[in-house]
């Protein structure tokens, strides 16, 4: 079984990426936040991996951190929830938001996930509550844990880059990496400059 991959990012798509390890390209399916966190090709990246072996295929699922992988395992343990739906959940509700939704029984938050209606949302919340309690508290990205003012600057910066023609996920990933480098007190203009540098790589 493949547990992790370290290699160069050869390409990224909406729901997957290709990681080149020693000349072999591995197709890895991943959530939107994980894909957004990857550096631009052909930079080096590291992903944790879950391997699914089927009769007709070997599928790889990639994760930026152990917390997201743990939630993926919990989600796919729920009857009727496959990898596609699990990634839809994690793309809409990153681990911190998902943990909060499960802890508070927030059905409305769960129903924001494409393909999740009222009944499925209620079942997911019910079945995840007990196993989720065994998980460590999810780590928040530095930019998300910042002051409200910093969070507002990030939101404004994302909007500015989207208005320039960049995809929202690309903009968010670039600005999170830029914000981590600059620190919590980063000014709007500095964040934009560093975000554009990230997008240009």
pLDDT of residue 4: 95
* pTM over 0.75, yes/no: no
56 shares a domain with 70: no
Is residue 143 assigned to a domain? no
Q: Which of 63, 84, 107 is the last residue of a domain?
A: 63
Q: What angle do CA 197, 93, 47 make, to 5 degrees?
A: 55
pLDDT of residue 84: 94
Q: Which of 29, 63, 97 is the last residue of a domain?
A: 63
pLDDT of residue 191: 84
Look at the chain and report how many structural domains it folds into: 3
Residue 17 is classified by DSSP as E
pLDDT of residue 151: 58
pLDDT of residue 175: 81
Q: Three-state DSSP class for 171?
A: helix
Per-residue pLDDT of the chain (201 residues; tens, 9 = 90+): 899 999 999 999 989 999 999 999 999 999 999 998 898 899 999 999 999 999 999 999 999 999 999 999 999 999 989 999 999 999 999 888 898 889 889 999 999 999 999 999 999 999 999 998 888 765 444 344 444 445 567 778 888 888 888 877 677 777 877 777 777 677 888 888 888 888 876
Owning domain of residue 42: 4-63
Is residue 139 assigned to a domain? no
pLDDT of residue 144: 41
pLDDT of residue 87: 96
Q: Three-state DSSP class for 201?
A: coil
Peptide bond into 121 cis (omega under 30): no
pLDDT of residue 184: 65
57 shares a domain with 12: yes
Is residue 10 assigned to a domain? yes
- The CA distances from residue 110 to 71, 87, 122, 132, 145, in Å, are 14, 13, 8, 15, 22
Q: Which residue has the tokens 């992988």?
A: 69
Q: How far apart are CA 109 and CA 17, in angstroms?
A: 28
For residue 123, which phi and psi values (nearest 5 degrees)? -65, -40
**123: how many CB neighbours lie within 10 A of its CB?**
16
CATH (domain of 89)? 1.10.150.20
Measuring CA to CA, which residue among 58, 54, 62 is closest to residue 19? 62
């Amino acid at each position: 079984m493949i547990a992790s991959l370290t290699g160069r990012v050869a390409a990224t798509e909406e729901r997957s990426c290709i990681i080149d390890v020693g000349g072999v390209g591995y197709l890895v399916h991943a959530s939107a936040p994980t894909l957004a966190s990857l550096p631009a090709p052909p930079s080096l990246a590291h992903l944790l991996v879950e391997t699914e072996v089927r009769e007709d295929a070997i599928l790889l699922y990639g994760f930026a951190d152990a917390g997201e992988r743990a939630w993926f395992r919990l989600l796919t343990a729920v009857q009727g929830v496959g990898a596609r739906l699990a990634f839809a959940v994690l793309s809409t509700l990153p681990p911190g938001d998902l943990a909060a939704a499960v802890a508070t029984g927030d059905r409305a938050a769960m129903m924001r996930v494409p393909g999740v209606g009222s009944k499925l949302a209620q079942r997911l919340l019910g079945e995840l509550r007990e196993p989720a309690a065994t998980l460590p508290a999810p780590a928040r990205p530095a930019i998300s844990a910042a002051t409200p003012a910093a969070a507002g600057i990030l939101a404004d910066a994302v909007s500015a880059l989207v208005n320039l023609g960049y995809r929202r996920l690309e903009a968010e990933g670039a600005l999170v990496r830029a914000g981590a480098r600059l620190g919590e007190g980063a000014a709007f203009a500095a964040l934009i400059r560093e975000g554009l540098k990230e997008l240009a790589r």
